[in-house]
Amino acid sequence: MGYFRIMAAIPGFFLSSFFFMLLWGVIAPKLGIVDINYVTSMLITITLWIAIAPLAAARKKK
């Protein structure tokens, strides 16, 4: 069952990265910072997922 959950999360990862890139493009000019590309947004998204996943798993076990 865990394998299928991982497979189901893959489209969510790509969509999360895409939305992150789009929202960053809207916010960045207002803050005076540079835009990011899709690959950079994927890197940021996977970093956040790796940091948050253990917290979510620990909370679920309670």
Per-residue confidence (pLDDT) for residue 39, from 0 to 100:
95
The pLDDT, as a whole number, for residue 56 is: 78
pTM above 0.85, yes or no: no
Give pLDDT, residue 3.
75
Question: What pLDDT shows up at residue 17?
Answer: 94
In the predicted model, residues of the chain with pLDDT beneath 50 are: none
- On the 0-12 / 13-18 / 19+ scale of CB atoms within 10 A, 17 is buried
**Quick one: pLDDT at residue 57?**
78
Q: What integer pLDDT is reported at residue 61 of this predicted model?
A: 66
